[in-house]
Amino acid sequence: MGAWLTRHLQNALAALGQLSRAPVATALTVTVIGIALALPAGLLAAVQGAQRVAGSWEDIRDFSVYLKPGKPLEAARDLAREIGKHEAVAETRVVTADDAMAEFTEDPGLGDALRSLGHNPLPHTVVVRPTAQASTASLDALRAKLEARPEVDLVQLDTQWLARLAAILDFVRRAIWIGAALLVAAVIMIVGNTIRLDIQNRRQEIEVSKLLGATDAFVRRPFLYIGFWYGLLGGLVALLLLGAGALVLRPPLERLLQVYGTTLGGFGLPAPAVLAVIAGGLAAGCAGAWIAVGRHLSEIQPRV
């Protein structure tokens, strides 16, 4: 086992040394791989950042049930408990008339007008959050049921918007998967083509090795480590590009968010996404090397 590990370490270091002897070609290949890996990762960071700024996609699905003015708070709580038992509802929350009044009075345009009334005209409200699996039909049925209740004044639910949101999210998810698959395939082809050229340049060396009894596994191993280093270095370049992009975009984004009265908070890739970029680079690099070696190595046979 010790000799086996030593041999693998020697092949890994030899492959890294071979790449270092062609710095320009290696840098170009690694940069292209890094750009291909950075694109889907950057899209992921942008989507997650938008979700943090906006709160979450779940907040957009919330709808409100307004009770008739003068209905007691206990009626709102009873209604919230009953709505919470519905299969299409994840949770409910009661907003009292006093809490709503306090929130609206903080608005410069509405505060003076509400205070001049001398009483609180706002009703108690039940905020309902549907489940992620809730369909438009089930929410429409729930709305009709709630509107028929005597204590309910208005149900503010836009099922068309929810349908549009579901379609948009489904489109974005599919687009991300398709884009990521295409870019990973591009990395595999880049590494495979580079390894193919390296195999052709070392054709005589491979023929001599096979003539001396070297197995295909022995000949294949150095090229696999070349793919390994391409994938690892490409992943690191992708992280550097993402970090540079975050540094460039952070100041103008902070100024934009200040206009809307919010802060940026966390900005960048989470730890699982960083590991995914590195793992994706390694997997694509090794896959490209394996495909190229498996296809072209069998064509090289020693001539006796």
Tokens found for residue 244: 């540079």
pLDDT of amino acid 48: 66
* Identity of the amino acid at 202: R
pLDDT of amino acid 200: 82
Task: State which H helix or E strand residue 156 sits in.
Answer: strand 152-156
What's phi and psi for 189, nearest 5 deg?
Answer: -70, -40
Q: Do the Cβ atoms of 115 and 105 come closer than 8 Å? A: yes
Q: What is the pTM of this model?
A: 0.63
Where are any strands of DSSP class E within 165-290? none
**Domains annotated on the chain, with CATH:** 2-56+165-299 (no CATH), 69-150 (3.30.70)
Beta bridge partners of 95: 125
Cβ-Cβ contacts under 8 Å for 301 (sequence gap 6 or more): 207, 210
Cβ-Cβ contacts under 8 Å for 173 (sequence gap 6 or more): none
Gap between the Cα atoms of 150 and 140, Å rounded: 18
The CA angle 252-168-257, to the nearest 5 degrees, is 20
pLDDT of amino acid 41: 83
Gap between the Cα atoms of 57 and 42, Å rounded: 19
pLDDT of amino acid 235: 92
Gap between the Cα atoms of 123 and 76, Å rounded: 10
Model pLDDT for residues 200-259, shown as the tens digit of each residue? 887 787 777 777 777 777 778 888 999 999 999 999 999 999 888 888 887 887 777 676
| Per-residue pLDDT in tens (0 to 9) along the chain, 304 residues | 677 788 778 888 888 888 898 899 899 999 999 998 898 888 777 766 665 555 445 566 788 999 998 899 999 999 999 999 999 899 999 999 888 877 777 766 665 666 666 677 789 999 999 887 888 788 889 989 999 999 999 998 866 766 676 677 678 778 878 888 888 898 899 898 888 888 888 778 777 777 777 777 777 888 899 999 999 999 999 999 988 888 888 788 777 767 655 566 555 667 888 888 899 899 999 999 988 888 777 666 666 5
- Burial of residue 67 (number of CB atoms within 10 Å: 0-12, 13-18, 19+): buried
The DSSP output letter for 270 is -
Tokens found for residue 110: 């509405």
pLDDT of amino acid 9: 85
Please choose, from the candidates 253, 230, 252, 233, the residue with its C-alpha nearest in 3D space to the C-alpha of residue 241.
233
